[in-house]
Structure 1
Protein backbone atom coordinates (compact mmCIF):
# COMPACT_ATOMS: atom_id res chain seq x y z
CA UNK A 1 0.00 0.00 0.00
CA UNK A 2 2.73 2.49 0.94
CA UNK A 3 4.62 1.81 -2.28
CA UNK A 4 1.49 2.74 -4.26
CA UNK A 5 1.28 6.04 -2.37
CA UNK A 6 4.95 6.83 -3.01
CA UNK A 7 4.62 5.81 -6.67
CA UNK A 8 1.80 8.34 -7.03
CA UNK A 9 3.69 10.95 -4.99
CA UNK A 10 6.76 10.49 -7.20
CA UNK A 11 4.58 10.84 -10.28
CA UNK A 12 3.03 14.06 -8.96
CA UNK A 13 6.48 15.43 -8.09
CA UNK A 14 7.67 14.63 -11.62
CA UNK A 15 4.62 16.16 -13.28
CA UNK A 16 4.72 19.34 -11.24
CA UNK A 17 8.52 19.64 -11.55
CA UNK A 18 8.18 19.65 -15.32
CA UNK A 19 5.37 22.21 -15.22
CA UNK A 20 7.23 24.46 -12.75
CA UNK A 21 10.47 24.05 -14.70
CA UNK A 22 8.70 25.08 -17.90
CA UNK A 23 7.25 28.12 -16.14
CA UNK A 24 10.73 28.92 -14.85
CA UNK A 25 12.14 28.76 -18.37
CA UNK A 26 9.35 30.66 -20.13
CA UNK A 27 7.40 32.85 -17.73
CA UNK A 28 9.25 33.44 -14.49
CA UNK A 29 11.59 36.21 -15.70
CA UNK A 30 8.82 38.78 -15.97
CA UNK A 31 7.62 37.97 -12.43
CA UNK A 32 11.09 38.41 -10.89
CA UNK A 33 12.33 41.32 -13.02
CA UNK A 34 14.73 39.00 -14.81
CA UNK A 35 16.67 38.41 -11.55
CA UNK A 36 19.12 35.67 -12.59
CA UNK A 37 19.69 34.49 -9.02
CA UNK A 38 15.97 33.88 -8.56
CA UNK A 39 15.76 32.13 -11.92
CA UNK A 40 18.71 29.85 -10.99
CA UNK A 41 17.16 29.10 -7.59
CA UNK A 42 13.85 28.19 -9.26
CA UNK A 43 15.65 25.95 -11.76
CA UNK A 44 17.54 24.19 -8.97
CA UNK A 45 14.30 23.62 -7.04
CA UNK A 46 12.63 22.10 -10.12
CA UNK A 47 15.66 19.89 -10.84
CA UNK A 48 15.85 18.64 -7.24
CA UNK A 49 12.11 18.00 -7.26
CA UNK A 50 12.34 15.99 -10.47
CA UNK A 51 15.33 13.96 -9.24
CA UNK A 52 13.62 13.10 -5.99
CA UNK A 53 10.37 12.25 -7.77
CA UNK A 54 12.30 9.71 -9.83
CA UNK A 55 13.95 8.42 -6.65
CA UNK A 56 10.51 7.82 -5.13
CA UNK A 57 9.41 5.96 -8.27
CA UNK A 58 12.50 3.78 -8.06
CA UNK A 59 12.15 3.09 -4.34
CA UNK A 60 8.47 2.25 -4.62
CA UNK A 61 9.11 -0.20 -7.43
CA UNK A 62 11.63 -2.37 -5.54
CA UNK A 63 9.81 -5.43 -4.20
CA UNK A 64 10.39 -6.06 -0.50
CA UNK A 65 11.40 -9.62 -1.39
CA UNK A 66 14.36 -8.23 -3.34
CA UNK A 67 15.59 -5.52 -1.00
CA UNK A 68 14.36 -4.15 2.28
CA UNK A 69 14.19 -0.36 2.15
CA UNK A 70 14.27 1.49 5.46
CA UNK A 71 10.70 2.67 6.13
CA UNK A 72 11.84 6.26 6.76
CA UNK A 73 13.50 6.70 3.35
CA UNK A 74 10.46 7.55 1.25
CA UNK A 75 8.71 9.84 3.77
CA UNK A 76 11.95 11.76 4.36
CA UNK A 77 12.59 12.16 0.65
CA UNK A 78 9.00 13.22 -0.07
CA UNK A 79 8.67 15.58 2.89
CA UNK A 80 12.12 17.03 2.34
CA UNK A 81 11.44 17.67 -1.33
CA UNK A 82 8.17 19.45 -0.59
CA UNK A 83 9.83 21.54 2.10
CA UNK A 84 12.98 22.33 0.08
CA UNK A 85 11.58 22.97 -3.38
CA UNK A 86 8.26 24.32 -2.15
CA UNK A 87 9.81 27.03 -0.02
CA UNK A 88 12.19 28.02 -2.81
CA UNK A 89 9.24 28.49 -5.18
CA UNK A 90 7.34 30.54 -2.61
CA UNK A 91 10.33 32.66 -1.63
CA UNK A 92 11.22 33.30 -5.26
CA UNK A 93 7.76 34.63 -6.05
CA UNK A 94 6.79 36.35 -2.78
CA UNK A 95 9.84 36.69 -0.54
CA UNK A 96 8.33 39.20 1.88
CA UNK A 97 5.07 37.31 2.27
CA UNK A 98 6.80 33.96 2.94
CA UNK A 99 9.96 35.18 4.69
CA UNK A 100 9.09 33.15 7.81
CA UNK A 101 9.42 29.95 5.76
CA UNK A 102 13.08 30.67 4.97
CA UNK A 103 14.42 28.31 7.67
CA UNK A 104 12.28 25.48 6.28
CA UNK A 105 14.40 25.28 3.11
CA UNK A 106 17.57 23.91 4.76
CA UNK A 107 15.47 21.61 6.95
CA UNK A 108 13.98 20.19 3.76
CA UNK A 109 17.47 19.68 2.39
CA UNK A 110 18.49 17.88 5.57
CA UNK A 111 15.39 15.68 5.37
CA UNK A 112 16.24 14.72 1.78
CA UNK A 113 19.80 13.88 2.83
CA UNK A 114 18.49 11.84 5.75
CA UNK A 115 16.24 9.94 3.35
CA UNK A 116 19.22 9.06 1.18
CA UNK A 117 21.26 8.17 4.29
CA UNK A 118 18.61 5.69 5.44
CA UNK A 119 19.24 3.76 2.24
CA UNK A 120 22.64 2.87 3.69
CA UNK A 121 21.01 1.11 6.64
Structure 2
Protein backbone atom coordinates (compact mmCIF):
# COMPACT_ATOMS: atom_id res chain seq x y z
CA UNK A 1 0.00 0.00 0.00
CA UNK A 2 1.43 3.36 -0.96
CA UNK A 3 1.21 6.44 1.19
CA UNK A 4 -1.40 9.00 0.18
CA UNK A 5 -0.13 12.21 -1.34
CA UNK A 6 -1.64 15.62 -1.96
CA UNK A 7 -2.36 14.62 -5.55
CA UNK A 8 -4.11 11.38 -4.59
CA UNK A 9 -7.79 11.40 -5.60
CA UNK A 10 -8.66 9.74 -2.26
CA UNK A 11 -7.63 12.80 -0.30
CA UNK A 12 -9.70 15.86 -1.13
CA UNK A 13 -8.03 18.75 0.65
CA UNK A 14 -7.06 22.35 0.24
CA UNK A 15 -3.55 23.12 -0.88
CA UNK A 16 -2.40 24.44 2.48
CA UNK A 17 -4.11 22.17 4.99
CA UNK A 18 -1.93 21.49 8.01
CA UNK A 19 -0.89 18.87 8.93
CA UNK A 20 -0.44 16.75 5.87
CA UNK A 21 0.10 13.02 5.57
CA UNK A 22 3.85 13.45 5.06
CA UNK A 23 4.27 15.40 8.30
CA UNK A 24 2.22 12.83 10.21
CA UNK A 25 4.23 10.00 8.68
CA UNK A 26 7.55 11.61 9.62
CA UNK A 27 6.34 12.50 13.11
CA UNK A 28 5.14 8.92 13.63
CA UNK A 29 8.45 7.51 12.45
CA UNK A 30 10.40 9.85 14.75
CA UNK A 31 8.20 9.03 17.75
CA UNK A 32 8.52 5.29 17.16
CA UNK A 33 12.29 5.53 16.71
CA UNK A 34 12.65 7.71 19.82
CA UNK A 35 10.59 5.22 21.82
CA UNK A 36 12.77 2.33 20.68
CA UNK A 37 15.98 4.22 21.48
CA UNK A 38 14.61 5.26 24.88
CA UNK A 39 13.52 1.69 25.62
CA UNK A 40 16.97 0.37 24.77
CA UNK A 41 18.61 3.05 26.90
CA UNK A 42 16.26 2.21 29.77
CA UNK A 43 17.09 -1.47 29.52
CA UNK A 44 20.84 -1.11 29.21
CA UNK A 45 22.14 2.29 30.29
CA UNK A 46 19.67 3.75 32.74
CA UNK A 47 20.05 0.95 35.28
CA UNK A 48 23.65 2.00 35.88
CA UNK A 49 22.67 5.58 36.81
CA UNK A 50 22.55 6.28 40.53
CA UNK A 51 19.16 6.91 42.08
CA UNK A 52 17.23 4.88 39.51
CA UNK A 53 14.66 2.79 41.33
CA UNK A 54 12.55 -0.04 39.91
CA UNK A 55 9.59 2.39 39.91
CA UNK A 56 11.54 4.87 37.80
CA UNK A 57 12.58 2.11 35.38
CA UNK A 58 8.95 1.06 35.06
CA UNK A 59 7.88 4.67 34.40
CA UNK A 60 10.63 4.97 31.76
CA UNK A 61 9.48 1.80 30.01
CA UNK A 62 5.87 3.03 30.08
CA UNK A 63 6.90 6.32 28.46
CA UNK A 64 8.96 4.45 25.89
CA UNK A 65 6.07 2.11 25.04
CA UNK A 66 3.61 4.99 24.65
CA UNK A 67 6.00 6.78 22.29
CA UNK A 68 6.24 3.65 20.14
CA UNK A 69 2.48 2.99 20.17
CA UNK A 70 1.64 6.58 19.26
CA UNK A 71 4.33 6.68 16.60
CA UNK A 72 2.86 3.58 14.98
CA UNK A 73 -0.63 5.05 15.28
CA UNK A 74 0.50 8.22 13.49
CA UNK A 75 2.02 6.12 10.72
CA UNK A 76 -1.37 4.44 10.26
CA UNK A 77 -3.30 7.70 10.50
CA UNK A 78 -1.08 9.22 7.81
CA UNK A 79 -2.17 6.44 5.42
CA UNK A 80 -5.89 6.95 5.95
CA UNK A 81 -7.60 8.99 3.20
CA UNK A 82 -9.82 10.91 5.63
CA UNK A 83 -7.83 11.12 8.84
CA UNK A 84 -4.49 11.98 7.25
CA UNK A 85 -5.81 15.53 6.82
CA UNK A 86 -7.69 15.80 10.13
CA UNK A 87 -6.76 19.16 11.62
CA UNK A 88 -6.87 18.04 15.26
CA UNK A 89 -6.39 14.28 15.68
CA UNK A 90 -2.84 13.79 14.39
CA UNK A 91 -1.38 16.91 15.98
CA UNK A 92 -3.10 16.07 19.30
CA UNK A 93 -1.75 12.52 19.29
CA UNK A 94 1.76 13.77 18.45
CA UNK A 95 1.77 16.65 20.96
CA UNK A 96 0.14 14.58 23.69
CA UNK A 97 2.63 11.79 23.21
CA UNK A 98 5.57 14.21 23.30
CA UNK A 99 4.28 15.84 26.48
CA UNK A 100 3.38 12.53 28.14
CA UNK A 101 6.54 10.59 27.34
CA UNK A 102 8.85 13.60 27.40
CA UNK A 103 7.75 14.68 30.85
CA UNK A 104 8.25 11.16 32.23
CA UNK A 105 11.71 10.90 30.66
CA UNK A 106 12.64 14.28 32.15
CA UNK A 107 11.26 13.42 35.59
CA UNK A 108 13.19 10.14 35.69
CA UNK A 109 16.47 11.74 34.61
CA UNK A 110 16.26 15.09 36.41
CA UNK A 111 14.27 14.10 39.47
CA UNK A 112 13.52 16.79 42.03
CA UNK A 113 14.91 19.66 39.96
CA UNK A 114 12.09 19.29 37.44
CA UNK A 115 9.30 17.99 39.68
CA UNK A 116 7.08 20.86 38.49
CA UNK A 117 6.71 18.83 35.26
CA UNK A 118 4.60 16.26 37.12
CA UNK A 119 1.27 17.80 36.04
CA UNK A 120 2.40 17.86 32.40
CA UNK A 121 2.17 14.06 32.18
CA UNK A 122 -1.63 13.81 32.66
CA UNK A 123 -2.16 16.88 30.46
CA UNK A 124 -0.21 15.16 27.68
CA UNK A 125 -2.20 11.98 28.23
CA UNK A 126 -5.47 13.91 28.04
CA UNK A 127 -4.44 15.60 24.79
CA UNK A 128 -3.46 12.20 23.38
CA UNK A 129 -6.84 10.72 24.35
CA UNK A 130 -8.63 13.71 22.79
CA UNK A 131 -6.80 13.02 19.53
CA UNK A 132 -7.99 9.42 19.47
CA UNK A 133 -11.55 10.45 20.36
CA UNK A 134 -11.46 12.94 17.48
CA UNK A 135 -10.70 10.01 15.15
CA UNK A 136 -13.80 8.24 16.40
CA UNK A 137 -16.15 11.20 15.85
**Alpha-carbon shift at residue 106 of structure 1 (Å):** 0.3
- Structure number with larger C-alpha Rg: 2
Deviations 1:56-102 (A, max 9, x none): 000001123xx686421101100000000000000001112211111
Show structure 1 runs of 4+ deviating over 6 A. Answer: none
Provide structure 2 residue ranges, at least 5 long, that are not aligned to the other structure.
1-18
User: Is residue 105 of structure 1 aligned with residue 131 of structure 2?
Assistant: no
For 1:85 and 1:34, the matched residues in 2 are separated by 17
**Are 2:54 and 1:21 equivalent residues in the alignment?**
no
**When the two structures are superposed, what TM-score results if normalisation uses the length of structure 2?**
0.81
Q: RMSD across aligned C-alpha pairs, in angstroms?
A: 1.6
Distance 1:54 1:4 in 2: 14
CA contact (8 A) 2:77 2:84 kept: no
Out of 22, 45, 54, the residue aligned to residue 36 of structure 1 is 54
How many positions carry a matched residue from both structures? 119
Of the three residues 54, 70, 87, the one matched with 2:103 is 87
Q: Secondary structure at the match of 1:71?
A: coil
1:63 aligns with 2:99: no
TM-score, structure 1 length as denominator? 0.91
